[in-house]
Structure 1
Amino acid sequence: MSLHSSLIVEETKQNKEEERRKLVEEVKTQLWLSGPLISVTLLNFGISLISLMFVGHLSELSLSGASMATSFASVTGFSLLVGMASALDTLCGQSYGAKQYRMLGIHMQRAMFILMIVAIPLAIIWANTRSILIFLGQDHEISMEAGNYAKLMVPSLFAYGLLQCLNRFLQTQNIVFPMMLSSAVTTLLHLPLCWYMVYKSGFGSGGAAIASSISYWVNVIILSLYVKFSPSCQKTWNGFSREALAPNNIPIFLKLAIPSAAMVCLEIWSFELVVLLSGLLPNPKLETSVLSICLNTTAVVWMIPFGLSGAISVRVSNELGAGNPQAARLAVCVVVVIAIIESILVGAVVMLIRNIWGYAYSNEEEVVKYVANMMPLLAVTALVDGMTAVLSGTARGCGWQKICAFVNLGSYYLVGIPAAVVLAFVLHIGGKGLWLGIICALIVHVLCLTIITIRTDWEKEAKKATHRVYNAITTEILVS
């Protein structure tokens, strides 16, 4: 073998070794990011779950009212704030990758300001929950109970908006363990606080709503103190700045925040709509109960790919901001493989527990059997929804929110809901038909996102990220 050939072989080996090293590092980084993010999501979900568990021991009416208020709050408030705050995945993530650290604090302040303004009309809606539910034909007693519960949850609306901004600010800097510890402390404190407010304070079921509000504010205070005093945030937080509130800069955030909110809300609302449609089926009590169980189960399972979604959003936005398009592409390939493996494992677990899972919610044999029949559909949902979550995270990292909002609109409301109505009410498949409609929507959704991702020019996306970051900086300079 000639010297030239030996050099080529050696160089090829080195290149392969380097690629293997980058792949291993990327897997480690994404697992290191996604683990705490999954924990944060589960712990925050635990606050509402703990509240409902304590209320459930008071009376059936109290539980029904609190459950309806929590669902109403999610649809009309929390989902919108989560969606708008996710614009920071793009703005903060790409700024951090480009080493424009000061801009992270500016973006977060602007997001907080806008979300607090948006929370005001949402608070008015929550304050009128009773009237809205009665107008929609809900039971009068349950509506009264839900209305009282929702009024006491209003302070949590503002805390939740701030919390989402703080979480995005930290996770785009790869600071995830403080978020996890803060959420853990808050959830642990919520247990005795909720017990006291429900059983000892005299507030009854309303005490759970007050406890939830206090817990969210505690979480906000802990993270705010961390941001202010931690050396990790010295470069990215320089105190409050009037530049963040300059009117000329607000469209920079809204341009991404509005389609981001549409992305999140359109998907969440479609699932809630399916549960409402189940009330129109024959034997609505059974259908609604089972579909609610399916929705809750899917929500819990979805928190795992949601953590992966946050991780890939950070990785893609950081690498594009840093001008490393190939690293961003590698990150997407890695997360897709991880999501497929995770979804298969979760689907297998769902199938293994299909005959006993219903007992966690009901002792009625009819409900348990129906849930068992629905579980294979939930396993398919877990597989498809896992892919949807990580590809949506990729979209947020790139800044494709506007495109994805239209994809979600078409997938869920031009395909999914019409298919659900036809399958359930025309072909008389019942609750299974409604859920099959959702699966149709998820399949269309994941296919569209897959095509968009495959056709992506990563070099072009890196240039767009650079333009977005420095355009924001130029605007700040002009204002100041």
Structure 2
Amino acid sequence: MGGALETLCGQAVGSGKLQMLGIYMQRSWIICLATALILTPVYIFTPPILKFVHQTKDISEVAGRYTLWAIPQLFAYAVNFPLQKFFQSQSKVWVMTIISGVALGIHALLNWIFVTKRGYGIVSAANVGNFSWWLINLAQFIYLVSGCFKEAWGGFSMEAFKNLAAFVKLSLASAIMLCLELWYYTAVIILVGCLKNPELAIGAIAICMNYQIWTLMISIGFNTAVSVRVSNELGANHPKAARFSVIVTVSTSAFIGLIFMVIVIVERKQLPKFFTDIPELVREASELGYLLAATIVLYSIQPVLSGVAIGAGWQSMVAFINIACYYLIGLPIGAIFGFKLKLNALGIWVGMLIGTILQTTILFMIIARTKWHIEATQAEERIRLWGGQIELHTNQGPV
């Protein structure tokens, strides 16, 4: 629900309308916090929800115990995401990087003390996560009000409550687009949990997905960078610069993905041992090594293309593409391979990969055929239509 901020803030910066950023961020806070409140029952009732989709009792109970204690993180995300996009749209990332690095060190230390050494378990892990996320929010808010953003941040204002309806529309489109991508992984895990011996299958998938997520963080960085750059350039009416940034970012991320792919193929039998010493689990995860390598190189490109879509404001279109590729093609094929053809976790992963390949191919073709000068002329209209007009009066101070 915060995805609208990426498009609107980036294009507002490009067009020189910095005074709009603080209002946009506050609108996004309102929408994201309301969404977190709506989602809270999902965290509370996680065990029965997981049991309803045929997950084992043990897995459901452990997951439910964690999510109940992790509810503060849900609201921390709602505060953090708009803050991040506010900073990123203005290319203010180094302070954020330092804050995240310090918080990561504290997070790792606290986990080592309370989870590993003292053995307080999953509840302690959730509480450490709560502390770490709110620590990040506090540090970023101090940076916000430090005086470094005099043009973009004028304090809290009642203007944030105006024109919310238009903002919500783009937020919903962004949420549908992004959730359909993220829930794809969740659906795969649920399918794997329905296999025989689900603990072993989920363990193998979890190991592979950890490595995938580690490498995905690189392409997510490019996702953010290209989203900001494309939105900035379109807002500034520089279509050629927007197109060039797409080419450079996709090429760079794909090259890094190829390097990771080679590493995974060469070390596929050793990588699972960083997570477990159970021979059956190591063997099961190793068998997924080639698919993991293919997924890594594919996901070095796909998030970048999604970032281009966000920067250009194509969320609604991409949402329909995701529904077709992921849920009408990828998951059904994965279910057939995994259950009917008895390929188990391997078959489910193949289905996921097919859906992602199709989605990436379609996005690539759309971007290749995009007339960027037309997108640039639409940027100002998009800010007016989706963001709502903001009238700032000289005699109106922050509330």
Cα distance in 2 for residues equivalent to 1:200 and 1:275:
30
Shift of residue 291 of structure 1?
1.9
Match of 2:145, SS state, is: helix
Q: Name whichever of 106-115 and 201-210 sits farther off.
A: 201-210
- Provide, for residues 13-52 of structure 1, a one-character-per-residue CA deviation record: whole Å limited to 9, x for no partner: xxxxxxxxxxxxxxxxxxxxxxxxxxxxxxxxxxxxxxxx
Cα distance change on mapping 1:418 and 1:205 into 2, 3 Å: closer
Residue 117 (str. 1) matches residue 34 (str. 2): yes
2:19 is aligned to 102
Match of 1:477, SS state, is: coil
Q: Name whichever of 181-190 and 341-350 sits farther off.
A: 181-190
Corresponding pairs, count: 394
1:240 is aligned to 156
Consecutive unaligned residues of structure 2, counting only runs of 5 or more, are none
Give 1:353's match in structure 2, choosing from 267, 283, 289: 267
RMSD, aligned CA: 2.3
Match of 2:389, SS state, is: helix
Give 2:46's match in structure 1, choosing from 98, 113, 129: 129
Cα distance in 1 for residues equivalent to 2:319 and 2:388:
28
Match of 2:226, SS state, is: helix
Give 1:307's match in structure 2, choosing from 203, 214, 221: 221
**Preserved contact between residue 262 and residue 293 of structure 2 (Cα < 8 Å):** yes
Cα distance in 1 for residues equivalent to 2:115 and 2:196:
37
1:461 is aligned to 375
Cα distance in 2 for residues equivalent to 1:409 and 1:304:
25
Alignment of 1:70-85 (within 5 A): 84-85=1-2
**Preserved contact between residue 339 and residue 387 of structure 1 (Cα < 8 Å):** yes
- Provide, for residues 269-321 of structure 1, a one-character-per-residue CA deviation record: whole Å limited to 9, x for no partner: 22222222223334444323222222222222211111111100010000000
Shift of residue 414 of structure 1?
1.2
Cα distance in 1 for residues equivalent to 2:105 and 2:125:
15
Shift of residue 208 of structure 1?
2.5
Residue 180 (str. 1) matches residue 94 (str. 2): no
Cα distance change on mapping 1:145 and 1:341 into 2, 3 Å: closer
Residue 383 (str. 1) matches residue 300 (str. 2): no
Counterpart amino acid of residue 313 in structure 2: G
Cα distance in 1 for residues equivalent to 2:215 and 2:388:
43
**Preserved contact between residue 276 and residue 288 of structure 1 (Cα < 8 Å):** no
- Provide, for residues 217-244 of structure 1, a one-character-per-residue CA deviation record: whole Å limited to 9, x for no partner: 111111011011142x111111111111
**Preserved contact between residue 103 and residue 473 of structure 1 (Cα < 8 Å):** no
Cα distance in 1 for residues equivalent to 2:107 and 2:298:
34
Shift of residue 251 of structure 1?
2.4
Cα distance change on mapping 1:211 and 1:364 into 2, 3 Å: closer
Give 1:169's match in structure 2, choosing from 86, 89, 93: 86
Give 1:331's match in structure 2, choosing from 238, 241, 245: 245
Cα distance in 1 for residues equivalent to 2:170 and 2:118:
43
**Preserved contact between residue 20 and residue 390 of structure 2 (Cα < 8 Å):** no
Q: Name whichever of 195-204 and 313-322 sits farther off.
A: 195-204
Counterpart amino acid of residue 268 in structure 2: R
- Provide, for residues 307-341 of structure 1, a one-character-per-residue CA deviation record: whole Å limited to 9, x for no partner: 11110001000000011011001111111211221
- Provide, for residues 126-179 of structure 1, a one-character-per-residue CA deviation record: whole Å limited to 9, x for no partner: 123344344445444554444333222111211111111100110010001111
**Preserved contact between residue 411 and residue 444 of structure 1 (Cα < 8 Å):** yes
2:312 is aligned to 398
Cα distance in 1 for residues equivalent to 2:387 and 2:267:
53
Cα distance in 1 for residues equivalent to 2:387 and 2:178:
28
**Preserved contact between residue 305 and residue 339 of structure 1 (Cα < 8 Å):** yes
**Preserved contact between residue 226 and residue 308 of structure 2 (Cα < 8 Å):** yes
2:74 is aligned to 157
Residue 86 (str. 1) matches residue 3 (str. 2): yes
Cα distance change on mapping 1:474 and 1:209 into 2, 3 Å: closer
Give 2:346's match in structure 1, choosing from 432, 455, 468: 432
- Provide, for residues 178-223 of structure 1, a one-character-per-residue CA deviation record: whole Å limited to 9, x for no partner: 1111111222222444456558999754232222112111111110
2:65 is aligned to 148
Cα distance change on mapping 1:132 and 1:427 into 2, 3 Å: closer
Cα distance in 2 for residues equivalent to 1:377 and 1:393:
24
Cα distance change on mapping 1:443 and 1:201 into 2, 3 Å: closer
Q: Which of structures 1 and 2 has the bigger CA Rg?
A: 1
Q: Relative contact order: is structure 1 or structure 2 higher (C-alpha 8 Å, sep ≥ 6)?
A: 2
Cα distance change on mapping 1:123 and 1:282 into 2, 3 Å: closer
- Provide, for residues 43-74 of structure 1, a one-character-per-residue CA deviation record: whole Å limited to 9, x for no partner: xxxxxxxxxxxxxxxxxxxxxxxxxxxxxxxx
**Preserved contact between residue 420 and residue 436 of structure 1 (Cα < 8 Å):** yes
The two structures have a TM-score, normalised by structure 2, of 0.92
Shift of residue 470 of structure 1?
4.3
Cα distance change on mapping 1:201 and 1:349 into 2, 3 Å: closer
Match of 2:299, SS state, is: helix
Counterpart amino acid of residue 307 in structure 1: G
Shift of residue 356 of structure 1?
0.4
Counterpart amino acid of residue 305 in structure 1: S
Cα distance in 2 for residues equivalent to 1:199 and 1:425:
37
Consecutive unaligned residues of structure 1, counting only runs of 5 or more, are 1-83
Match of 1:386, SS state, is: coil
Q: Name the one with the larger helix percent.
A: 1
Shift of residue 474 of structure 1?
6.5
Counterpart amino acid of residue 174 in structure 1: S
Match of 2:17, SS state, is: coil
Equivalent pairs: percent with the same residue? Answer: 36
**Preserved contact between residue 167 and residue 388 of structure 2 (Cα < 8 Å):** no
**Preserved contact between residue 167 and residue 386 of structure 2 (Cα < 8 Å):** no
Cα distance change on mapping 1:224 and 1:285 into 2, 3 Å: closer
Cα distance change on mapping 1:319 and 1:476 into 2, 3 Å: same
**Preserved contact between residue 230 and residue 308 of structure 2 (Cα < 8 Å):** yes
Shift of residue 105 of structure 1?
0.7
The two structures have a TM-score, normalised by structure 1, of 0.77
Counterpart amino acid of residue 236 in structure 1: A
2:131 is aligned to 214
**Preserved contact between residue 152 and residue 210 of structure 1 (Cα < 8 Å):** yes
Cα distance change on mapping 1:476 and 1:181 into 2, 3 Å: same
